[in-house]
Amino acid sequence: MTATQAGTTALSRPIVLQGIRDSFAKLDPRVQVRNPVMFVVFVGSLYTTALGVAAALGMAPDAGRPGFVLTIAAWLWLTVLFANFAEAVAEGRGKAQAAALRSTRKEVQAKKLKGRRVEDGHTLVQASSLRRDDVVLVETLEVIPADGEVIDGVASVDESAITGESAPVLRESGGDFCSVTGGTRVLSDWLVVRVTSNPGEAFLDRMIAMVEGARRGKTPNEIALSILLSFLTLVFLLATVTLAPFSRFAVESAGVGTAVTAVVLVALLVCLIPTTIGGLLSAIGIAGMDRMVRSNVIATSGRAVEAAGDVDVLLLDKTGTITLGDRQASTFHAAPGVTEQDLADAAQLASLADETPEGRSIVVLAKQRFQLRGRDLAGTTHEFHKFSAQTRMSGVDLEGRRLRKGAADAVRRFVEAEGGAWAVAVTQQVETVARGGATPLVVADGKRVLGVIELRDIVKGGIRERFVELRQMGIKTVMVTGDNRLTAAAIAAEAGVDDFLAEATPETKLALIRRYQGEGHLVAMCGDGTNDAPALAQADVAVAMNTGTQAAKEAGNMVDLDSNPTKLIEVVDVGKQLLVTRGALTTFSIANDVAKYFAIIPAAFATTYPQLDAFNLMRLASPESAILAAVIFNALIIVVLVPLALRGVKTRAVSAAHLLRRNLLVFGLGGLVVPFIGIKLIDVLLAATGWV
Model pLDDT for residues 183-218, shown as the tens digit of each residue:
788 888 888 999 988 887 676 676 666 666 545 556
Give the C-alpha separation, 540 to 310, whole Å.
Answer: 10
Rounded mean pLDDT, 38-61:
90
In the DSSP assignment, the letter for residue 532 is: G
Q: What angle do CA 256, 257, 261 make, to 5 degrees?
A: 145
Q: What is the pLDDT of residue 2?
A: 45
Catalytic (active-site) positions: 317
- β-pairing, 148-158 vs 313-317, is unpaired
Q: What is the total residue count of the chain? A: 692
Are 333 and 424 in contact, with CB atoms under 8 Å apart?
no
Give the C-alpha separation, 48 to 55, whole Å.
Answer: 10
> Residue 588: pLDDT band by 50, 70, 90 thresholds?
very high
Q: What is the pLDDT of residue 282?
A: 84
Residue 225 has pLDDT above 70, yes or no: yes
Give the C-alpha separation, 259 to 250, whole Å.
Answer: 8
Residue 354's H or E segment, with its range, is none
> Residue 18: pLDDT band by 50, 70, 90 thresholds?
confident
Could you give the 3-state DSSP secondary structure of residue 559?
Answer: strand
Cα end-to-end span (Å), the chain: 52
Q: What is the pLDDT of residue 692?
A: 59
Model pLDDT for residues 235-277, shown as the tens digit of each residue:
989 988 888 888 788 777 777 667 788 898 999 899 889 999 9
6-10, 134-138, 298-302, 679-683: least confidently modelled range: 6-10
Are 85 and 15 in contact, with CB atoms under 8 Å apart?
no
Could you give the 3-state DSSP secondary structure of residue 478?
Answer: strand
Residue 4 has pLDDT above 60, yes or no: no
> Residue 5: pLDDT band by 50, 70, 90 thresholds?
very low
Q: What angle do CA 256, 259, 264 make, to 5 degrees?
A: 140
Rounded mean pLDDT, 99-111:
70
Give the C-alpha separation, 452 to 456, whole Å.
Answer: 13
Rounded mean pLDDT, 327-352:
89
More confident residue, 149 or 372: 149
Give the C-alpha separation, 451 to 134, whole Å.
Answer: 53
Are 506 and 475 in contact, with CB atoms under 8 Å apart?
no
The residues near 204 (Cβ < 8 Å, ≥ 6 apart) are 101, 104, 105, 162, 181, 182, 183
Could you give the 3-state DSSP secondary structure of residue 224?
Answer: helix
- Burial class, 89, CB count within 10 angstroms (exposed 0-12 / middle 13-18 / buried 19+): buried
Are 69 and 47 in contact, with CB atoms under 8 Å apart?
no
- Specify the amino acid at residue 262: A
More confident residue, 648 or 609: 648
The residues near 259 (Cβ < 8 Å, ≥ 6 apart) are 244, 247, 248, 251
- β-pairing, 448-456 vs 439-445, is antiparallel
Q: What is the pLDDT of residue 414?
A: 92
Q: What is the pLDDT of residue 682?
A: 92
Residue 231 has pLDDT above 80, yes or no: yes
Q: What is the pLDDT of residue 8?
A: 41
Residue 354 has pLDDT above 80, yes or no: no
Rounded mean pLDDT, 137-159:
86
Residue 7 has pLDDT above 80, yes or no: no
- Burial class, 683, CB count within 10 angstroms (exposed 0-12 / middle 13-18 / buried 19+): buried
Q: What is the pLDDT of residue 27?
A: 92
Q: Which residues pair with 403 in a beta bridge?
A: 396, 445
Backbone angles phi, psi at 559, to 5 degrees: -130, 125
Neighbours of 499 (CB within 10 A): 14
Q: What is the pLDDT of residue 638?
A: 93
Q: What is the pLDDT of residue 635?
A: 93
Model pLDDT for residues 446-469, shown as the tens digit of each residue:
899 999 999 887 778 788 888 888
pTM: 0.71
Give the C-alpha separation, 456 to 358, whole Å.
Answer: 10
Q: What is the pLDDT of residue 3?
A: 40
Residue 311 has pLDDT above 60, yes or no: yes
Sign of torsion over alpha carbons 670, 673, 679, 685: negative
Residue 637 has pLDDT above 90, yes or no: yes
Are 178 and 172 in contact, with CB atoms under 8 Å apart?
yes
Q: What is the pLDDT of residue 652?
A: 76
Backbone angles phi, psi at 483, to 5 degrees: -65, 165
Q: What is the pLDDT of residue 442?
A: 93
Three-class secondary structure assignment of 30-42: HHHCCCHHHHHHH
Residue 501's H or E segment, with its range, is strand 499-501
Share of the chain above pLDDT 90, in %: 21
The stretches of 527-609 forming alpha helices (DSSP H) are 533-538, 550-555, 567-605
> Residue 376: pLDDT band by 50, 70, 90 thresholds?
low
- β-pairing, 541-545 vs 558-560, is parallel
SS3 content of the chain, % helix, strand, coil (to 5): 55, 15, 30
Residue 9 has pLDDT above 50, yes or no: no
Radius of gyration of the chain (CA): 34
Are 213 and 586 in contact, with CB atoms under 8 Å apart?
no
Q: What is the mean pLDDT of the chain?
A: 83
Q: What is the pLDDT of residue 82?
A: 94
Q: What is the pLDDT of residue 74?
A: 95
Model pLDDT for residues 480-507, shown as the tens digit of each residue:
887 778 878 888 888 899 999 988 888 8
Model pLDDT for residues 554-570, shown as the tens digit of each residue:
888 888 877 777 788 88
Rounded mean pLDDT, 315-332:
80
Residue 591 has pLDDT above 60, yes or no: yes
Give the C-alpha separation, 40 to 240, whole Å.
Answer: 13
The residues near 417 (Cβ < 8 Å, ≥ 6 apart) are none
Rounded mean pLDDT, 596-624:
75
Q: Which of 59-63, 226-230, 367-371, 616-620 has the highest mean pLDDT?
A: 226-230
Residue 404's H or E segment, with its range, is strand 401-406
Q: Which of 296-310, 357-371, 611-625, 646-660 has the highest mean pLDDT?
A: 357-371
